[in-house]
Every structure is written in C-alpha cells, then in structure tokens.
Structure 1
C-alpha cells in the first residue's frame, strides 16, 4: 500500500532505523571510561534498585547485576551498541527488536518511580513492538538482502 511519500513497509523501516539511531545515541553518550573503570552506571542503577518499592526488583538486581558489576557494565554498553547497529543495518532485526524491547522493559521496571525516563523507554518499547509485528526488516535491511526472516 502506498502512503504519502513512502510505502507502509518503508515507513516501518524508517521507524526501525530511527530506533536504531536512538540506541546508538544511548551508547554514544555514555562515558565508557566511567562505566568500565569506575562502574558509575551500574553503581547508579544499584542505588536506584536499593530504594525500589518492589522487593523483587531489589532481590533480582542484587542477585544478577550486583555480583559482577564490571561485566554488567560491558554487557549493557555493548548491548546498546549491538542493538543500534542491528536495527540501523537491519541484520538479525527480529532478534534486535525483541532484545531492545526486553532491555527497555528492564529499564522501565527499574525506573518505575522516575517518570523522567519513562517516556523514552515507553516509546522505544512501542516502536519495537510495531516494527516487530509489522515485520520492519522486510525493507531497507540486510535481512531482506540476504533473504532472512521472510
């Protein structure tokens, strides 16, 4: 179906690429030295989790993230880079969309009491859902060029 300027599939690709740029910006603006050497990102998240109103979030953070804070810093930072590149290039796009959705949901749950972050995470999660169910990898992607996920 042709819409204004672009087809519906092309508009889904625009959403996918825009979401990828958003993840890439999230990766770009992080102070990697502070994250990797001083653990500032994980330390900040630990302080948020420690005050969280849901005991399950506090316990989960203490069990999964807190024990290997340096490893978790690398995982978070490199996951954002991988999501950004995967969505922009359209490679393994369904995996990147689901991975991004899960990461945004984790951020949403952790930051449930801080509404300043909720708009960004909510919109990124929504775009992930729309692009996933709209099969946003079928246009302008390496997945399309390679015949993956048809």
Structure 2
C-alpha cells in the first residue's frame, strides 16, 4: 500500500537506525510528535529500543532489530521496516559502534577486528541502507530524504578510538 507522502509535514514513513537511545531516540520522538510513523531499529539493545518505541506519540510505529554489519542483515532491516510501514520516505542513518582500541594497548588481531567492525557498521551499513531506501523511494515514485548522522570525531580525531573517527 502506497500512502501519500508529504515531506514537509506529517505522515512520513521513517526508518531510524540505532534508535534505541541517545540521539536516535530523540529523533524517533521528534518524528513521532510530528505525526510520522517510525521504525525503531536496534542492533543489540532491544530493551532500550522497546523503551523508545513505548515513548513515541501516535500509532503505527514498529520495532526492527537486526545486525547492520552484514549486507543481508541491512537488507532484512530495510525490508521489514518498509513492509511494516508500507514504504520508506525518510531514512536516518544513526547506528554506529564506538569501541576503544588505543594503539599502545591493543594487540594487532584485536585492532584489525575492531577496525573491520567499525567500517562494517559505521560506513558500509550506512551505504547499504542508503541504497536500499533510495531504491524503494525511486520505485515508489515518491522521492524522500536520507539523513546521515556524523560525529565530531571525524573532525578532531579520536586517539583511543581511531576507527570511529575515521568512519
């Protein structure tokens, strides 16, 4: 079912990755208060995500868990969100990992694994979800918006979290 989309008002179908707490929770609440229906994504914090979902104004919101570090997991999250909402009009890429790995204290094998994890979630999941949402927006013929959340770490560096700053 394709619902009419008003990108400047209410009624949008919004997928927010990493919406279990913090900025993702605040964004979910803001979209819901605007009359939008929100797919609240979480990777590992299901209880926190349920608290976000329970705090949303309005109706029609959905909880969508899944591992975005895997392309198939990202496709599953986008697909379940689109199915539950009837499409996607807005994607907010907010999910990220930020695990410490200071050079002086981190063995190489752990260092390499942490870099892979950061790149998989913070960079590639953003690209994958963006493609999946944009393709749906094109196919729906409605257009839409994709918002990518960044971090000050990209501009100031993160000595104990270099992969986070880079991604």
TM-score (norm. length: structure 2): 0.28
TM-score (norm. length: structure 1): 0.30
The higher relative CO (CA closer than 8 Å, separation ≥ 6) is in 1
